[in-house]
Structure formats: structure tokens, C-alpha cells
Amino acid sequence: MATTSMPQNRRPSFERMEATLLACPKCKRAVKVRKRLLLVLPNGDKYLYVCPDCGSTCGETIETPSPAGIR
């Protein structure tokens, strides 16, 4: 079976994925999470994904700013 490599100059189909449904550790089920800004850092903003039912943290992410001019 032959494998083909992707061209090096190919851009990804998306910049960033956004979580909307995560497993809550307290409720023991998947919930539609709310994204809350926690910290503004020099390298980006840190967000928590919070369960709307119990308020538990289901995940976190740091969003780095995109380079100027790229959207």
C-alpha cells in the first residue's frame, strides 16, 4: 500500500476547533459547556469550559492571538 505525503505549503482547513459538548466530571454526562475567560496572559487568553448545571470545570484552553492580517 503506497502512502502519499501532504504538500508542505498546504494550509489547514480550520484555524481552531471550539468545544461545545464536554463530559462533566461531577454530573457524569456530556453537557453543553459555557466558555468563561479566566486569565489574560502575554501569550494568549486562558478560558475555562464550565458545566451550566453544576458549575464544575470540564476543560480549559489558551487561545493565542492570530498573526495580524490572517483571518
Q: What mean pLDDT is predicted for residues 1-11?
A: 63
Kindly report, residue by residue over 15-37, the tens digit of the pLDDT.
667 778 999 999 999 999 999 99
Name residue 27's amino acid.
Answer: C
Question: What confidence score (pLDDT) does residue 69 get?
Answer: 47
Contact 19/47 with Cβ under 8 angstroms?
no
Contact 37/50 with Cβ under 8 angstroms?
no
DSSP-based three-state secondary structure for 42:
coil
Q: What mean pLDDT is predicted for residues 57-67?
A: 87
**Whole-Å CA distances, 69 to 6, 63, 64, 65, 66:** 25, 17, 15, 11, 8
